[in-house]
Structure 1
Amino acid sequence: MFTGIIQSVGRIRSLERRGGDVRLSIDTADLDLSDVKLGDSIAVSGCCLTAVAIDAQGFAADVSNETLSLTSLGGLASGDAVNLEKALRLSDRLGGHLVSGHVDGLGKVVSISADARSQRWTFQVPDELARYIAHKGSICIDGTSLTVNEVEGSRFGVNLIPHTVAHTTFADRRPGDAVNLEVDVVARYIERLLGAGAAPKLDEAFLKSHGFA
């Protein structure tokens, strides 16, 4: 599990094709890996990857076909920037929201506009994910925990403060770029419960307050 609070921006060192899969080698910049061991999880632009090799400059991870098909990782090239976060410890502050690192699909940057010192961003999402996104709910974009400002159909907007832009890969993003999306896990479980006929056990006021009823 992760929090969606980016700890460092790293760079892709190499992508090595291995029998259809890809081994990513990542320069982790100033991210401290002294407490990371082989087999630990690190979120790379929102994708939970397992460290299979660690050195003084960074780590390597194998990326499966499933992950390549659902995320932007397959389109990365040497030198590209990626958001990095080490796995959550039980003693850590939960500054964002609970993030699994399991990307649900790809979205697209529609527009970026200035709003005082902040920026307003609009994203397009696949129709099958739009129902999980609620006004003032949480969304994880390229591993970054953000609050949804507004929702209209399959589009939603967020506000990015200067700190977020400066310390993530949002500084490099432009309209038309693809982004990794992970919807709030609470929405997924509520849908599952409703589909299983458990709706009478859920409090109606709770559902309405979270935008699901």
Structure 2
Amino acid sequence: MYTGIVQAVRPLADVSVYPGGKTFTVTFTDQLLADLKLGASVNIEGTCLSVTGIAGDHVTFDAMNATLERTNLGALEAGQNVNVERSAKMTDENGGHPIAGHVATTAALEEIRVADDGAYIRFRVPEDCAKYIFPRGFLAVNGCSLTVAEVEENLFTINLIPETLRQTTFPRYKAGDRLNIEVDHQTMVLVDVIERTVARVMPGLAEKGR
């Protein structure tokens, strides 16, 4: 489990291909390395990955093709930076919201604005995922806990404060790039239960609403 508060932006030292996936080598700080063990779960750019190797400050993670296809990790290249968050302890303060690092979908970034008078990202998600996202609701984008500001059907806008820009990889993204999206799990369950209940109790109304 993670909090969605990115602990560091770290460089990818290497990206290598193996049969069935890719290995990502991330350069960790001493703080991130503290008590880190093989098999530990780490949130990398919004995706929960397991540590497969530790050599000095280089930490490796393997991602199978299924993960690469469902996230934006497949587009990462050596030299780029990634958001990093170690898994949270029960005693840790949660300044964001509980996230699992299980990417629900990727979103197409339509616009990003970074300026002194304000910054925001605007992205579009598949329609089947849009029903889980609400104004002022929680959303994890590339592993960062954020609040939805505006909703226009399946187009969403999130405002970014300067500290978020400083502490994340958002500034390197551009229109056309893909973002990793994790919707709030409780919201997803609630919406699905309501839909199934309505479909069972009032099938005619449910069909009309589609």
Q: With the length of structure 1 as denominator, give the TM-score of the two structures.
A: 0.87
| Residue in structure 1 matched with residue 167 of structure 2 by the alignment | 167
> What is the number of equivalent residue pairs in this alignment?
199
Inter-partner Cα distance in structure 2 for 1:114 and 1:35: 36
Inter-partner Cα distance in structure 2 for 1:116 and 1:78: 30
- Is the deviation greater in 57-66 or in 112-121? 112-121
SS at match of 2:56: coil
Inter-partner Cα distance in structure 1 for 2:125 and 2:172: 20
Equivalent position amino acid for 1:173 in 2 = Y
Say if 2:79 is the partner of 1:76.
Answer: no
Inter-partner Cα distance in structure 2 for 1:2 and 1:93: 11
Alignment of 1:4-153 (within 5 A): 4-29=4-29, 31-113=31-113, 117-153=117-153
| Residue in structure 1 matched with residue 202 of structure 2 by the alignment | none
How far the C-alpha of 1:48 sits from its partner, in A, is 0.1
Equivalent position amino acid for 1:62 in 2 = D
SS at match of 1:67: helix
| Residue in structure 1 matched with residue 157 of structure 2 by the alignment | 157
| Residue in structure 1 matched with residue 182 of structure 2 by the alignment | 182
How far the C-alpha of 1:192 sits from its partner, in A, is 3.6
Q: 5+ residue gaps in structure 1? A: 200-213
| Residue in structure 2 matched with residue 206 of structure 1 by the alignment | none
Aligned CA-pair RMSD: 1.8
Equivalent position amino acid for 1:85 in 2 = E
2:30 and 2:57 in contact (8 A); partners too: no
Inter-partner Cα distance in structure 2 for 1:64 and 1:114: 33
1:23 and 1:63 in contact (8 A); partners too: yes
Inter-partner Cα distance in structure 1 for 2:67 and 2:16: 15
CA distance 1:147–1:16, change in 2 (3 Å):
same
How far the C-alpha of 1:193 sits from its partner, in A, is 2.5
- Is the deviation greater in 25-34 or in 92-101? 25-34
Equivalent position amino acid for 1:59 in 2 = V
1:15 and 1:25 in contact (8 A); partners too: yes
How far the C-alpha of 1:11 sits from its partner, in A, is 1.4
Inter-partner Cα distance in structure 2 for 1:45 and 1:124: 18
Equivalent position amino acid for 1:123 in 2 = F
How far the C-alpha of 1:30 sits from its partner, in A, is 5.8
Equivalent position amino acid for 1:119 in 2 = A
Equivalent position amino acid for 2:188 in 1 = R
CA distance 1:73–1:154, change in 2 (3 Å):
same
Equivalent position amino acid for 1:53 in 2 = G
How far the C-alpha of 1:29 sits from its partner, in A, is 4.2
How far the C-alpha of 1:28 sits from its partner, in A, is 2.3
Give me the identity figure in percent.
35
How far the C-alpha of 1:75 sits from its partner, in A, is 1.1
Q: 5+ residue gaps in structure 2? A: 200-210
SS at match of 2:32: coil
2:32 and 2:86 in contact (8 A); partners too: no
1:10 and 1:28 in contact (8 A); partners too: yes
Inter-partner Cα distance in structure 1 for 2:31 and 2:127: 36
2:33 and 2:57 in contact (8 A); partners too: no
Equivalent position amino acid for 1:136 in 2 = R
